[in-house]
Amino acid sequence: MFGLVVMAAWTLVIKYLAPVLYLVAENAAGRTIERAPVMWDFWWVAHLVLAWLLWHRHRWARAAGLAVSISEILIVAVKLASFMARPDLSFWRLLWLTNKIYVLTFFLCFLVLLLTGRVMPGGREPGRGGP
C-alpha cells in the first residue's frame, strides 16, 4: 500500500511538478519555452484508489489489485519495448524510464503476492494482525 502512495507521489513530481518548475526556471532565466514538458498520465489516481481499497480492506481490494496489476504490467511492457526499439536518452525520457521500471517491478511483485495468497485483500500478510 505504501509503495502505491510513493508511486503516485513520484509520478506527480516527475510528470507534472518537475516540468512546470523547469518551465518557470527557464522563463525566469530569460529562455523562452512555449510549454512545460508535462507527461500526461492519470494512473496515479488508480494507484491511490487501490491504496485506499487495500488500507480499508475493501471487498474489491483483491480484484482491483489484480486488474490494476495486470493492466499496468501489460501497458508498461509494451511501452518499454517501444522505448528499447528507439531509445531516447534525454533527461525527460530517462525520468519517464525510471518511473516505468519502478511501476513494472512493483506490480510484478504485487501480482505474485496476490496470486500466491501471501497478501490478504487488506494488503497485510495473513496472521500479522493490524487494524
Residue 94 CA to residue 84 CA, distance in Å, equals 12
Is 125 a domain residue? no
Is 81 a domain residue? yes
Is 8 a domain residue? yes
Is 123 a domain residue? no
Is residue 108 a contact partner of residue 65, using CB atoms and an 8 Å limit? Answer: no
pTM: 0.84
Q: Cell 480484484: give the residue.
A: 63
Helix, strand, or coil here: 35?
Answer: coil
Is 124 a domain residue? no
CA distances from 88 to 31, 60, 80, 121, 131 (A): 23, 39, 11, 39, 46
Is 121 a domain residue? no
Q: For residue range 32-46, what is the model confidence (pLDDT) as tens digits?
A: 888 889 999 999 999
Binning pLDDT at 50, 70 and 90, where does residue 127 land? very low
Residue 94, domain extent: 2-116
Binning pLDDT at 50, 70 and 90, where does residue 130 land? very low
> 119: which 3 cell numbers?
497478501
Number of folded domains that form the chain: 1
Supply the pLDDT for residue 120.
60
Is residue 45 a contact partner of residue 126, using CB atoms and an 8 Å limit? Answer: no
Residue 72 CA to residue 89 CA, distance in Å, equals 23
Residue 131 has pLDDT above 70, yes or no: no
Q: For residue range 73-116, what is the model confidence (pLDDT) as tens digits?
A: 999 999 999 999 999 999 999 999 999 999 999 999 999 999 99
Is 122 a domain residue? no
Is 126 a domain residue? no
Is residue 55 a contact partner of residue 47, using CB atoms and an 8 Å limit? Answer: no
Residue 2 has pLDDT above 70, yes or no: yes
Percentage of the residues of the chain whose pLDDT score is greater than 90: 82
Average pLDDT for 13-26: 94
